Amino acid sequence: MPKFWQFCNVSDGSAELLLYGDIADKSWWGDEVTPKQFAEELNALGAVSEITVRINSGGGDVFAAQTIGNLLEQHPAYVTARIDGLCASAATVVSSHCNKVIAANDSSYMVHPVKLGIRGYAGAVELQEYLNALAVIKENIISLYAKKTRHTKDEVTAWMDVTSWWTAAQAKENGFVDELTDDEQDAVVENRNGVLFVNSVSMNLPFAQAPKFVQDSLTASAAGRLANKKPAGQPEKQQEVQDMEAKDSIKTADDLRKEYQELVDQIEQAAAAAATSAERSRIQSIEDMALPGSEALAAEAKFTKPVSAEDFAKEMVKNAKTQGASYLAQVEKDARDSGMDGIHNAPPADRTGGDTFLDAIRGMNQ
């Protein structure tokens, strides 16, 4: 299944988890493979002490969100959620499991009633089972929200029942967000063919249904982009200086990621794919060159002490020479040990009378 998450920037005891877009393309209810894959990738991070979960999501499957949230909460690392654009619906379940939630000042937060998709036909018994399931899921989410916000369950229920949209400051006031920050890049709101996009990620929500402050941020984003454009009549030299200053501000890999997030992700994915292809090619080349009797040497070159196919070929030649020299030395030693060196051909006896039969043969050969 295509992944909706991505672990990256794993270094110095820290890692990032990107949750951009829908949380799960399908329900994790009854799915054994996808949750297992997420758990394996989380465990593969090793002994990290900090995990940052970057969120820009309109929500998705509640079972996926609960599984991810619980796995993060049970992990020994300190988990910080950073809301880069939108944190809505199931995404709020993930953020509420984190140790701390930091939101960009112009980000948005949304909670709403639990919904359940029904396919096919259902009778009264089946419908009641659906209602019972909804009640259980809602109670679990209410308990999680109440624990995070320290508000009563009745207050949390009232927020959910009416579908509440909040600015980052309002979400902080209500306890869902712990800190606001001015350091994050402003969220870019777009109306693409009537669909709400935040930071170039579809929220799967009609733009007309987004709250007014979210729609208003579209105008603010456009105004900001116009303000950042080169003023009319500005000298080209001055513009070049400004561009150089912007480039000089990128000193580290993290700076580059903040400025060009999508480009860095594409480069990393391409590099990972190329590395995988190159590794397969290296192993195949070693297997093709391996000779009978060199299995141990080939296994070491492929896995234990990885080397290039060229270096393995050199080792094969050296190994062949060594084996050949050892073989010749053993042959000489066996010859010496057998005593064959002391045996010589005796000279033929002096014949005076000659041999009539041999003389006849010699005459025929002549």
For 84, phi then psi, to 5°, come to -85, -25
Phi, psi for 87 (deg, rounded to 5): -130, 105
37-67: burial string, b at 16+ Cβ within 10 Å, e else: ebeeebeebeebeebbbbbbbbbbbbbbbbb
* Alpha carbon distance 102, 262 (integer Å): 21
Distance CA 255, CA 261 (A): 10
80 in Cβ contact with 53 (< 8 Å): yes
- Cβ atoms of 57 and 88 within 8 Å: the answer is yes
Q: From the CA atom positions of the chain, what is the Rg in Å?
A: 37
Q: Are strands 179-181 and 164-167 parallel, antiparallel or unpaired?
A: unpaired
DSSP per-residue letters across 265-302: HHHHHHHHHHHHHHHHHHHHHHHHHPPTT-HHHHHIII
Q: In one letter, which amino acid is 310?
A: E
* Residue 183 three-state SS: coil
Whether the full predicted model's pTM is greater than 0.75, yes or no, is no
Domain boundaries, the chain: 6-112+163-229, 272-339
Alpha-carbon distance 57 to 89, whole Å? 9
Structure tokens at 49: 């002490």
Between CA 211 and CA 331 the distance in angstroms is 91
- 69 vs 72: CA distance, rounded Å: 5
Eight-class DSSP state of 125: H
| Alpha-carbon separation of residue 266 from 57, 247, 250 (angstroms) | 20, 20, 18
CATH of domain 6-112+163-229: 3.90.226.10
Helices 33-43 and 62-74, interaxial angle, to 10°?
20
Single-letter code of the amino acid located at 276: T
Digits of tens for pLDDT over the chain (366 positions)?
Answer: 568 899 988 888 899 999 999 998 777 676 767 888 899 999 999 889 999 999 999 998 899 999 999 999 999 999 999 999 999 999 999 999 999 999 999 999 999 998 877 777 888 888 888 899 889 999 999 999 999 999 999 999 999 999 999 999 999 999 999 999 864 455 677 787 777 777 666 666 677 767 666 676 665 555 554 444 444 444 444 444 444 444 455 666 666 666 666 666 667 666 666 556 677 777 787 777 677 777 787 788 777 778 786 776 777 667 766 666 665 666 567 667 666 555 555 555 554 444 444 444 444 443
Q: Which residues pair with 164 in a beta bridge?
A: 111
